[in-house]
Amino acid sequence: MGKATDSDGGQYILIRPTRLGDVNLDGSVTIADFIDLASHFNGPGTWQEGDVNGDGQVSIGDFIDLASNFNTSYSGLSWAIAPQEKAMLAEFASSAERRYLSQVRLRDHGYRACRFAKAATAVTPQLRLRVRA
């Protein structure tokens, strides 16, 4: 289901059966769908922006759903992925994973720093620590 505009400029809702990841509702999950998702990645969105799991955010979960149906169509046909498309998907997935892991590391590092600061001030109450964000 997606919003569409007819030739006269009127908007309507298009409902059609499709594959998970077919962001542009053309019946096939292709690089065009990936580009739409990637251009809205890590932001709010609807189906047409790449939010295929319906949580209101275009995230790695949506990318995984799209990738699982990549180069397939509603008719059930599938075809081989081009090497450059495969490289683009792999690069995007690895960069998204790196961003996620760096966020986890920053969160864990901050947690450890807080634990250290609490322990240090408990041992030496006159010690004051300045924490930078």
CATH number of domain containing 33 = 1.10.1330.10
- Give the count of domains, the chain: 2
13/62 same-domain check: yes
CA–CA separation, 38 and 123 (whole Å): 50
Residues 4-39: pLDDT tens digits? 677 888 887 767 778 889 998 888 999 999 999 999
Query: Which secondary-structure segment (H or E) carries 13?
Result: strand 11-14
63/98 same-domain check: no
Q: Is the pTM of this model over 0.85?
A: no
